[in-house]
Chain A
Amino acid sequence: MKKKIGVYVCHCGGNISDYVDVEKVRQAIEDEGGVMLSKATMFACSDSNQKDMVDDIKNNDLNGVVVASCSPKLHLTTFGKVSERAGLNKYNYVHANIREQVSWAHSDDKAGATEKAIHIVRAAIAKARLAESLEPNKIVAQKSVAIIGSGVAGMKAAIALSKMDCPVFLIEREHFIGGRVSQWGAMFTTNETGKEVVTRLYNDLAMRPNVTLFTGAEVVSNAGSIGDFKLKVKITPRYIKANCNVGNLQQAIDACPVEVPDDFNFNITSRKAIYHNFPSEYPQSPVIDIKNCTRCGKCEAICENIDFSQKEEILDINVGSVLMATGFDPYTPGEGEFGYNEIDNVVTLPQFKRMIELSDKKLLFKGKEVKNIAYIYCVGSRQEEGGNTYCSRFCCTSTIHASLLAKEKFPKVHNFHFNRGIRTYGKQEVLYRNSLEQGDIYLQAYEDALPVVYRENDKTKVKINDILTHGKEMEVEADLVVLVTGMVPRAENSVGSLFKLPKGRDKFFNEIHMKLRPVETFIDGVTISGACQGPKNIMESVNSALSAATKSFSYVSKGELETEPIVAGVDAEKCTWCNACSEACPFDAISLTETGTKSIALINNSVCKGCGMCLPVCPTDALDLIAYSNNEIESMIDALAHD
């Protein structure tokens, strides 16, 4: 059937038409074979133009459509849907990118840009001539979601999904839930403590029959894809019997001879090899740190709840979507960075927060009362080169809040803030005001001369040339130096690689589009939330967690999903199964199958992304990509090469 194609060339309100002569492009292609109608439009994506397109397709019985506009990443789906509304199968729609590939790239050469645009539109028309109608592949979607990480984001997402009647597997690597927030004391804005927040969330979770919580659990492998992820979860035992009576457990803990740094308190205290996190921890049972346990048997002798016979287990979990809520690590300063690990009384912000929480009456550091505190901001954030160039967002507010708490709890404290411009954005500004009003001292460093921490006469001092006093050199004798460390991606982040999740420049997991698809990733069915996506405070993490929960729910709620029919196909005659294609496939979508007479490649349609990596490696040309067949691509190349 001869194609009747409609072509729309978009001005993009100047984004394209400032550099490309849109009308000239339209005229150049109006007589191309198959083109029945061609129009220039201010915004192809606008509601009014979409309506016009629907009318055009219906009134002229168009069976092919080309829009030359922005990147297909932005609007391929938009115009595909326009075609469908007009009753035209969306695979007859072809997108030509003349913004990112033309007008933005060649803003210095209008004539050349126009010429290139004409060629790109011709190529799209060539493809439209050969395009065929396709039907999406339908797959069954498991109505359940796995949430990885049970910090505030993960727990909140679990509650939201549970309320939507969606079964949830909440998978936590640690033996206790609550993530980073459980480590914080009173928090801005409500002064609720981290413990209280975690307790509230846990109590809500505990009532929900459709939430299954695993602690000490790690996802170790994934097979499958959207609608049908097949996860293997490794559960490490607590070595404490379930539903044990509290009985002699405390005596068993007391009896343990092992002392190791307590990472819950960021190593400022120590704990035993059998330990609790804190009194209101969840689940409410201690755990044996088997790596550090010497198997001396003292605890076993005292308490019958201890059970060293517990074995590691591997569970199989089958879910329709995966929601990542794996959180962040606090930045660890380098040796000697602002005196870290070299000068005695230099600690990090998380350590300082634990110190406030654990100290009573007097703020003590190594037995000595702390009066002067110097806070050094942006440690591990806004680094000029090589390191973390981003701002960690939460730390200015968090530090000022902590300094106010310290002052309130220990009135003898004096706070000195060595900052690089305070960023208490939005309502958080009131904290900064309160701090100034109570007499905290703020000193701001020049960008090329950060403060220096040094020892002199047995005292720790911080020196700065202060912008706010026009460059005057100031020196503070500090009893404690607090390095305001930012957020970095989790050091142990291999779970992201299991799903092949893309990362941004900052090494955090990356969303598809900050505004259009803020919690989706390029891996279909995997959403991201909270600080694994970038620095966020609690409220912001919760907002993203709820958004991600709704998105994950939308994948699985109907029990069925449609996936793109644009996948690779195998010509059984030509295929000799050399294995080259399956090695080239980044998604493990190709396996071996027997036809009875020979071995050939088999494509798993729900895993294949249509990326085309397998095509060029096939020595017998047995593979072709639906909708991007050799025929179609060759016709596009011809159009591009033609003068």
Chain B
Amino acid sequence: MSEQLKNTSFDALVVGGGIAGGEAALNLANNGFTVLLIEKELSIGGKMILLSKVFPTLDCAACITTPKVSEISRHPNITIYTSSEVGEINKIAENNFEATIIKKPRYVVVEDCTACQLCEQACPVSVPDQFQYNLVGRKAAFIPFSIASPKAAAIDIDNCILCGACEKVCPTNCIDFTQQTEEIQINIKTVVLATGFKLFDPLLIPRYGFGLYKNVVTSMQMERELAPTRPFNTVLRPGDGKVPDKIAYVLCTGSRDATVGNPICSQICCMYSIKQSQLLMGALPMADVTIYYINIRSFGKGFEEFYQQAKGMGVNFVKGKIGKISEKENGNLILRYEDINEGIVKEAEHDMVILSVGVLPNQDAAKLFHTDELKLGPHKFIDQVDSLISPAKTSIEGVFVAGTATGPMDIPDSILSAGAASSEAISYLIQDK
């Protein structure tokens, strides 16, 4: 991998280094095209690299992501910039785009860093760890997470107190506070947008008490508690560190809900909740797990069987949307809901609640284009102008879209969508020759 700028001209610019962007970059590179992959986070791998296991095969997410990430980062045709964003992209003509890349300083020379973690130990600042979804803390000088790529330290300059402790202990002198934001002009022939999605912020539904009741967490936080690189080495509720034994899932938190501006279904929450319920049954054999749902949407290959398997394992499925959550003194939670099967309003007590938060569009990509308009669809995902026949096409010829940037979808669909985007991009590149 080269973080150094050797070339300002590439065949393709791929925006977003998650599973879709990575797959698209690999397809292009394996067919002989040069790719610049831009990732705004400190590591590539997107959201998938942070997951526990993936449905319906229960492969561990890291086992699938890390070798892909490794292949991407080693590929001679792929140049990666992490901590970088695209400033703007202008189309000059067909097969001719200009883009500005804003490369933010990491304050660490990646090539020299050995990820020895001495700086981490020396740093006196503690802040919430965004890669553990704030379940635990991290330092201001830190390795993002153990399977990050590149695996190198970074300085969180917003929280750094410039005490210099990290510089003193670094054995390779790789910490460099003089690094500056760089602006790089590049020329490319095609663009693949794989800018992913945002998670619904449950603070927007105050009646669920997220942020107020400590034992109400998001599904992404539970994902971290179940991951191989989990923070606690067991599942526990954040309020008091107790191992929960009566766990509830609240499906459709921020999905299929016009009151929060998101009327569509997020497509993944049923399945990831069912997956987590199976993992919880394994991790905490004595625990009861209840999933409160409107409809279970287990539609993909092997998904319905996976749902039936969860039922068989004893996961309790209750048809009813949760109206309100309140907290008892002992930190347990009272869920108020209409039991649709029986037609009565009920209350149930659980000691931990997981909000299965939905998928929201990341609208950043639309702002990048000035010469042409990148259209967004009615739900603010990137518009697929020919959704039936060419799902990867956008409103700009030569700009293609992959993965959840087009709408909610699971990992297998994202990978196929990336396959389609790279295929269209390759056709577009070849026809120019």
- Chain A positions near chain B (C-beta within 8 angstroms): 12-15, 42-43, 45-48, 50, 70, 74-75, 78, 85, 152, 156, 160, 163-165, 187, 189-190, 192, 197, 200-201, 382, 389-391, 393, 421-430, 433, 446, 467-471, 504-506, 508, 514-516, 518-519, 533-535, 538-540, 542-544, 546-551, 553-554, 557
**What 8 A-B pairs have minimum CB-CB distances, sorted nearest first?**
A13-B228, A547-B419, A470-B343, A163-B427, A546-B423, A546-B420, A421-B295, A47-B70
Contacts of A428 in B (CB 8 A): 265
Do A543 and B299 contact each other (CB < 8 Å), given the known contacts A15-B60, A427-B379, A553-B31?
A: no
Min CB distance, A468 to chain B, in Å? Answer: 7
Query: Which of B92-100, B125-133, B145-153 touches A?
Result: B145-153
B408 touches A422 (CB 8 A): no
Given that A470-B340, A542-B420 are contacting pairs, would A197 and B264 also be in contact in the complex, using a CB cutoff of 8 Å? no
Bound-state Cα–Cα, A557 to B384, Å: 29
Contact of A426 among B319, B378, B409 (CB under 8 A): B409
Known: A47-B70, A515-B64. A426 touches B412 (CB 8 A): no
Nearest chain B residue, comparing its CB with the CB of A187 = B388
Q: Is the CB of B420 within 8 A of A547?
A: yes
Across-interface contacts of B264 in A (CB, < 8 A) = 426-427, 429-430
- 10 other contacts beyond A393-B300, A515-B57, with CB at 8 A cut-off? A47-B147, A423-B297, A426-B265, A426-B407, A534-B301, A543-B420, A547-B419, A550-B419, A551-B419, A554-B31
Q: Are B115 and A48 in contact (CB under 8 A)?
A: yes
Q: B42-85 vs A: 1/0 string, CB under 8 Å?
A: 00000000000010010110111011111001100000000000
Asked if residues B302 and A390 are in contact (CB atoms below 8 Å), the reply is yes
Q: CB-nearest residue of chain A relative to B413? A: A540
**Is A15 a contact of B228 with CB atoms below 8 Å?**
yes
Say whether A543 contacts B413, CB under 8 Å.
yes
Q: Which of A45, A201, A427 makes the CB contact (< 8 A) with B66?
A: A45
Q: A470-B342, A549-B423 in contact; A516/B263 too (CB < 8 A)?
A: no
User: In the complex, A70→B413 CA distance in Å?
Assistant: 25
The residues of B that contact A542 with a CB separation of less than 8 Å are 388-391, 420
CB-CB under 8 A from B418, the residues of chain A are: 547
What are 29 A-B pairs with beta-carbon distances under 8 A? Answer: A13-B227, A42-B146, A43-B62, A43-B63, A45-B70, A46-B151, A70-B63, A156-B389, A163-B431, A164-B426, A165-B430, A190-B387, A382-B304, A391-B304, A393-B300, A423-B295, A425-B408, A426-B266, A470-B340, A470-B342, A470-B343, A516-B64, A518-B416, A534-B301, A538-B389, A539-B391, A543-B392, A543-B416, A543-B420
Chain B interface extent, by class: 35 or more
CA distance A504 to B60 in the complex (A): 21
Alpha-carbon separation in the docked complex, A230 to B7 (Å): 44
Query: B265 contacts A429, CB within 8 Å?
Result: yes
Which chain A positions have C-beta within 8 A of B149? 47
Closest B residue, CB atoms, query A198: B389
Contacts of B386 in A (CB 8 A): 190
Bound together, the chains give a CA A516 to CA B420 distance in angstroms of: 15
Distance, CA A70 to CA B305, complexed state (A) = 24
In Å, the complex CA distance between A382 and B296 comes to 13
Asked whether, in the complex, the Cβ of B430 is within 8 Å of the Cβ of A164, the reply is yes
* Complex-state Cα separation, A5 to B379, whole angstroms: 57
Closest-CB distance, B295 to chain A (whole angstroms) = 4
Instruction: Tell whether B298 is near chain A: CB-to-CB under 8 Å.
Output: yes
Measured CB to CB, the nearest residue on chain A to B433 is: A165
Please indicate which of the listed interface residues A42, A45, A508 has the most CB atoms of chain B within 10 Å of its own CB.
A45
- Specify which chain B residues have a CB less than 8 angstroms from the CB of A468 in the assembled complex: 340
Q: Separation in Å of the B258 CB from the closest CB of chain A?
A: 8
CA distance A578 to B179 in the complex (A): 75
CA distance A424 to B407 in the complex (A): 14
Q: Is the CB of A467 within 8 A of B256?
A: no
Q: Is the CB of A544 within 8 A of B419?
A: yes
B416 contacts which of A192, A382, A540, A557 (Cβ < 8 Å)?
A540
Q: Which of B57, B228, B308 contacts A14 (CB 8 A)?
A: B228
B122 to chain A, nearest CB (A): 21
Complex contact B305–A192 (CB within 8 A)? no
Q: Give chain B residues whose Cβ lies under 8 Å from the Cβ of A535.
A: 301
Q: Are A190 and B388 closer than 8 Å at their CB atoms? A: yes
Q: A78-B67, A427-B264, A467-B341 are in contact. Are A543 and B391 (CB under 8 A)?
A: yes
